[in-house]
A and B are shown apart, each in its own frame.
Chain A
Amino acid sequence: MLVLSRRAGEAILIGGEIEVVILGTDGGQVRVGIRAPREITVLRKELLQQVQAENRLAASTGSSAGMDSLVKQSDLLPRTAVK
């Protein structure tokens, strides 16, 4: 891993199109600004990990749960929703 030291207001370029700006620090937190083309997905890493874990959980529960039992619960859907 490349390690760089930067001060607030300084920036890092990744390729020609991605710019990471260190906006400032506050206690243990670092505020970072990112400029990137629309087709580059920028995400907090832990959010992607949460979605991966949730998908794995869904795959493990979905196979064993009868869809029939879910269908029987459909009366409990919020009444305000479109049916």
Chain B
Amino acid sequence: MVLVQTTRFGALEDVEVVEEAIITFPEGIPGFEQYTEYALIEEARFWPYAWLQPTDEPGVGFVLMDPHLFIPGYAPDLGCQDLTTLGLADDGALEMRCILVVPSDPKGATANAKAPLLINRPARRGKQVILMDERYALRHPVFEPAPDETLAVTASCSS
């Protein structure tokens, strides 16, 4: 087990993770190139969300989610992406996660479907790729509007 520090809930705390959950991003992730080692914290009580925590910096972290949960059939064209840093893996072994932006009202959460994280779990390596695939957006809404909100929008459009 590895102890990782996080301020995920405000106060600094230690979280115990299994060694397999320590993932190396050899190039860091854009904007945070200085951190290359991350703990992928997946707890049943937070399903379907996970937390990606740089092991060197408790004050930074990312909420992650499997894009298939909000984009059915999500299958980005990886084109000429260089996946060599991920280690040898057939496509089936690669897992995808999107980074979420969570505003104060979580209903407005968006996911970066344009730049998913690819994770080779057996090799414990990851990379955030930037897709040329135009179908996917930098800010994809995670949640559908509630039915009453949908009605309100329809009403305002027809008046």
Contact = CB atoms under 8 A, between A and B. Distances in A.
A59 B82 contact: no
Contacts of B30: 48, 51-52, 55
Interface of B is mostly: loop
Contact of A55 (B29, B45, B82, B102): B29
Contact-residue bracket for chain B: 35 or more
A63 B70 contact: no
Contacts of B82: 38-41
B112 interface: yes
Contacts of A80: 72
A59 B49 contact: no
Given A40-B82, A66-B9, A67-B8, A73 B109 contact: yes
Interface residues of A, number: 40
B144 A76 contact: yes
A63 B69 contact: no
Interface in A40-70: 40-43, 47-48, 50-59, 61-70
A83 B47 CA distance: 11
A38 to B, nearest CB: 5
The 7 closest A-B pairs by CB, nearest first: A52-B31, A76-B143, A65-B102, A55-B31, A52-B30, A39-B82, A62-B63
